[in-house]
Amino acid sequence: MFGKDNLTLRIVLSLIMTVVILISILGTSYVLMRNARSALLEEKQVKLFAFAKLLDIALVKTYDEILQDKGLLNASREEKI
C-alpha cells in the first residue's frame, strides 16, 4: 500500500509546501515592516511640522530679524544655530 515511491513523493510534497509557506510568511513580514516604518516616519514628520508651525506662531520676529538684532546676520551656520 505504501511503497518507496509514494513515501518519496510525500516527502517532496511536504518540502515544497514548507518552502512555499515559509516564503509567503517572510514576504508578508517584509511588507508589514516596511509599511509600519513608513507610517511611523509619516507620523513623526507631521508632528515635526506641527511643532515648527507652533514655533513660527510663537516668535514675534522672523529668524533673520532675530539674527540681525544679535549681530549674527553674516555669521557662520554654526554660530547662527
Write out the residue range of the structural domain in which residue 72 sits.
4-80
Domain count, the chain: 1
Tell me, yes or no, if the pTM score tops 0.75. Answer: no
Write out the three cell numbers for 28: 508578508
pLDDT(2) > 70:
no
Distance set, CA 15 to CA 21, 27, 28, 33, 48 (Å): 10, 18, 20, 27, 49
pLDDT(51) > 70:
yes
CB 80 within 8 A of CB 67: yes
Write out the three cell numbers for 73: 546676520
The tens digit of pLDDT for each residue in 16-42 reads 999 999 999 999 999 999 999 999 999
| Phi, then psi, of 76 in degrees rounded to 5 | -70, 165
The tens digit of pLDDT for each residue in 55-79 reads 888 888 888 888 888 888 888 888 8
